[in-house]
Amino acid sequence: MERFMEVCLFLLLRDGPMHGYGLAEQLIPFGFAPEDLNVSTLYRTLRKMEHEGFVISDWQEGEQGPRKRVYKITTEGEENLEEWIQVLQYRKARIEKVLAVYKEPSKKSFSKVIDEVAT
Amino acid sequence: MERFMEVCLFLLLRDGPMHGYGLAEQLIPFGFAPEDLNVSTLYRTLRKMEHEGFVISDWQEGEQGPRKRVYKITTEGEENLEEWIQVLQYRKARIEKVLAVYKEPSKKSFSKVIDEVAT
DNA sequence: TACTACTATGTGCATGTTGAATATAGTAGT
DNA sequence: ACTACTATATTCAACATGCACATAGTAGTA
């Protein structure tokens, strides 16, 4: 699932600014339960997204606890999300193709089956 | 699409033995048109699959042209394919989750929209 | 004969993505 | 003091993939 988390982060940030730790919670319904979430990947991905101009961040201090880096999606980020959606639709189609062929009866020829039984 | 070609190869070999170059042609309907197929990855993957015991190979000579290494799926390989199908079903579900949320109307709160308009 | 195209299999190196472990630091409760 | 929770980030290693290149047989053709 190459860069799947990235798409989920774009999707979550589309609904409003959020900091990394908060995004971690919101990622759960996308298959990133705490035991399946690598927080290193999460923070690293957010930094990369900002470096590419798809999000911008600001430090939010004053609240209790450590300071939060709050990310906000940019126009370029929103465009990038739409490209990612196309990619996901293509991936889905390819997976469905495999699942469909898997469920088909085997196309193994009769002669090949005979060969197999003979061994 | 982490190791997607591997699953396609299992699926094709389920229908009978085949050599790498022949598998390349059969991969086309799975999104591996010649310009999208990396033959290095193809041959490398087949060698790895044999090393793991999921396929076995024999050299087929006598025909015209260079000799062919013909791969045949093993019982372990067939079992591995079934595990891969489970993985693909899970991947498909996660992708569908993202696509569904994407199509939902934005959950951005009214107050956040006001903030945005104010800037 | 030399050249080109197609068939056929592989290796070496570089890049990109991810996971595990670790570091740092603030706050709250016992 | 200690523990737990919140919060962000780096380093190193492993894994997957792409690109370039090497090798070799056969067939057609100029």
Question: Which 8-state DSSP code applies to residue A27?
Answer: T
Closest nucleotide to the alpha carbon of B3, via C1' = D16
Quick one: pLDDT at residue B32? 97
- From first to last of its 119 residues, chain A has per-residue pLDDT tens of 999 999 999 999 999 999 999 999 999 999 999 999 999 999 999 999 999 999 999 999 878 899 999 999 999 999 999 999 999 999 999 999 999 999 987 777 777 787 778 76
Quick one: pLDDT at residue B119? 65
Chain A residues in contact with B85 (beta carbon < 8 A): 98-99, 102
> How many interface pairs between A and B have CB atoms less than 8 angstroms apart?
80
| Cβ-defined contact of B108 to A30 (cutoff 8 Å) | no
Structural contact between residues B11 and B39, judged by C-beta atoms closer than 8 angstroms? no
Token representation of residue A92: 């889905």
Portion of chain B with pLDDT greater than 90, in percent: 83
Fold exhibited by the domain A4-118:
Arc Repressor Mutant, subunit A (1.10.10)
Distance from the Cα of A6 to chain B's closest Cα (Å) equals 11
Tens-digit pLDDT profile for residues B41-66 = 999 999 999 999 999 999 998 888 99
Token representation of residue B27: 């991969």
Average pLDDT over residues B98-109: 86
Quick one: pLDDT at residue A40? 98
Quick one: pLDDT at residue B110? 74
| Cβ-defined contact of B102 to A11 (cutoff 8 Å) | yes
Structural contact between residues A80 and A68, judged by C-beta atoms closer than 8 angstroms? no
Quick one: pLDDT at residue A119? 66
Q: Does the pLDDT of residue B115 top 80, yes or no?
A: no
- Is residue B60 within a helix (H) or strand (E), and if so which, with residue range? strand B55-60
What ipTM does this complex have?
0.91
Q: pLDDT: is A69 or B104 the higher one?
A: A69
Please write down the HEC assignment for all residues of A65-81.
Answer: CCCEEEEEECHHHHHHH
How long, in residues, is chain B?
119
For residue A56, CA distances in Å to A14, A69, A107 come to 13, 10, 53
Nearest to B6 by CA among B50, B57, B36: B50
Which residues sit opposite A58 in a β-bridge?
A: A70
Q: Domain ranges for chain A, please list them.
A: 4-118
